[in-house]
A and B are shown apart, each in its own frame.
Chain A
Amino acid sequence: DAGVIQSPRHEVTEMGQEVTLRCKPISGHNSLFWYRQTMMRGLELLIYFNNNVPIDDSGMPEDRFSAKMPNASFSTLKIQPSEPRDSAVYFCASRGGSETEAFFGQGTRLTVV
Chain B
Amino acid sequence: AQKVTQAQTEISVVEKEDVTLDCVYETRDTTYYLFWYKQPPSGELVFLIRRNSFDEQNEISGRYSWNFQKSTSSFNFTITASQVVDSAVYFCALSANTGGFKTIFGAGTRLFVKA
B108 contacts A55, CB within 8 Å?
no
A43 contacts B50, CB within 8 Å?
no
Q: Which of B68-104 contact A (CB under 8 A)?
A: 91, 95, 99-104
B45 contacts A91, CB within 8 Å?
yes
A103 contacts B108, CB within 8 Å?
no
- Number of inter-chain CB pairs below 8 Å: 50
B35 contacts A43, CB within 8 Å?
no
A98 contacts B43, CB within 8 Å?
no
Residue contacts A-B, CB under 8 angstroms, 22 given:
A33-B102, A42-B105, A42-B107, A42-B108, A43-B91, A43-B105, A43-B108, A45-B102, A45-B103, A48-B102, A50-B100, A55-B102, A56-B102, A89-B43, A91-B45, A101-B33, A101-B47, A102-B35, A102-B103, A104-B45, A107-B43, A107-B44
Number of interface residues of A (CB under 8 A): 23
Whole-angstrom distance from the CB of B12 to the nearest CB of chain A?
Answer: 18
Any B CB within 8 A of the CB of A71: no
Any A CB within 8 A of the CB of B67: no
Q: Which residue of A33, A50, A104 is within 8 Å of B44 (Cβ)? A: A104
Taking CB atoms, residues of chain A closer than 8 Å to B106 are 42
